[in-house]
Structure 1
């Protein structure tokens, strides 16, 4: 699956996140923000374009209806951040802690999550198109009634993930691990699984598999 990478200039000037409060519109463009923290900020319809966040801690932030285009988060802490109803396009999250992040009702396109801690994250009612979760921990994540198109889970921990009312046709979870997940049997049609996972799903159906 090909994912478009963020389109970011090679050389970006450093900036301070709090500069955004001195502008008429909550918007940051073409800059790098590093080695800092954003504490208890609440904004709606904030926009970031061609921005790199590196080693930034976002603590108790609420950015509903956020718009992210061509953005990279590297070694950041976004735990419990509220990005509900966000529009997230050509964005990469790398080596970041994102426990409990709320991406419900969000629209994600060409997004990479790589080596991220995403336990208890929420995506309910969201739309995910060309999204890759690569070597991520997604324990107890919630994908209730999502729309998936070209979504990949590569070598992830998806134990106790909720896929209820989310069709998994064409979704490959064969390289990922779980002991138990929540999924409607009719939504498993066309899902790509490993032989071991197929046995687990057969057990969920009440079948006895002979060796």
Structure 2
């Protein structure tokens, strides 16, 4: 019997930022290209920054309620302690991005491309990754009420020390997706878990759901 290959872990490139220039929130403009900026304690709430490019930047302690970052490009950028009720990053490109200790209500990243992205110690009510392309993405010590991967393509995605109430994987395409570090309550479509890895404890928790999916009646 052929043995299955072990699950491949995400490969996350380390971000090293040097000689950043402090800048006010007004320095950022939609469709603008910005490199090497440090925004600390600034308020970007309700700003239309769609199409903006941030390269080798740091956003620290920034408020971003209902900020529009659609079709933006975040490259080699670090975000720490962001507070946002709604953050729109739909159809964006995130490459070599780290998001630490942030509190976000609704994070819209649908149809976006995420490569070498790391979330650490974040609390998110809902992350919308529908139709997104994820490669080498890691969530560490995060609490997310709902993770929506419907229709997404994910390769080398992992969760470590995380918890979610609901995981949506309807029509998703998963490869080397490691869910062993994700405590979850509900999965909306077990067929969508094909290509994911779970541990024995998760398999036991989902046993009733697996049985129902296969048409098996469980009676004591």
TM-score, normalization by structure 2: 0.86
Whether contact under 8 Å (2:76, 2:97) holds in the other structure is yes
- 1:188 to 1:59, Cα distance in 2 relative to 1, 3 A: closer
Match of 1:58?
64
| Correspondence list, 1:190-205, <5 A | 190-205=195-210
Q: Is the 8 A contact 1:6 1:69 kept in 2?
A: no
2:6 corresponds to which residue? none
Give the drift of 1:169: 3.8
Give the C-alpha shift of residue 48 in structure 1.
0.6
Q: Name whichever structure is richer in strand by fraction.
A: 2
The answer to whether the 8 Å contact 2:169/2:193 transfers is no
Shift of 1:189: 3.3
In 1, Cα distance between the equivalents of 2:50 and 2:42? 21
For the residues of structure 2 that align with 1:100 and 1:30, how far apart are their CA atoms? Answer: 27
* Residue in structure 2 matched with residue 135 of structure 1 by the alignment: 141
Once the two structures are TM-superposed, the CA of residue 7 in structure 1 deviates from its matched residue by 4.2
How many residues of Structure 1 are paired with residues of Structure 2 in the alignment? Answer: 206
Q: Aligned equivalents of 1:175 and 1:111: distance in 2? A: 17
Assess if the C-alpha contact under 8 Å between 1:128 and 1:151 holds in 2. Answer: yes
SS of residue in 2 equivalent to 1:177: strand
How far apart, CA to CA, are the structure 1 residues paired with 2:106 and 2:164?
A: 14
Equivalent residue in structure 2 for 1:102, among 101, 104, 108: 108
**CA RMSD for the aligned pairs?**
2.0
Q: What corresponds to 2:84 in structure 1?
A: 78
Query: Is there any run of 5+ residues in structure 1 with no aligned partner, and where?
Result: none
- Alignment correspondent of 2:3: none
Kept in 2, the 8 Å contact 1:202–1:209? The answer is: no
Q: TM-score if structure 1 supplies the norm length?
A: 0.90
Distance in structure 1 (CA, Å) of the matches to 2:132 and 2:195 = 20
Equivalent residue of 1:174, what SS? coil
Q: Tell me: CA distance 1:101–1:190, structure 2 relative to 1, closer, same or farther (3 Å).
A: closer
How many Å apart are 1:208 and its aligned residue? 6.9
128-137 or 73-82, which deviates more: 73-82
Q: 130-139 or 201-210: which moved more?
A: 201-210
Distance 1:60 1:190 in 2: 34
Equivalent of 1:4 in 1, 5, 13? 13
Distance 2:41 2:61 in 1: 5
Gaps of 5+ in 2: 1-9
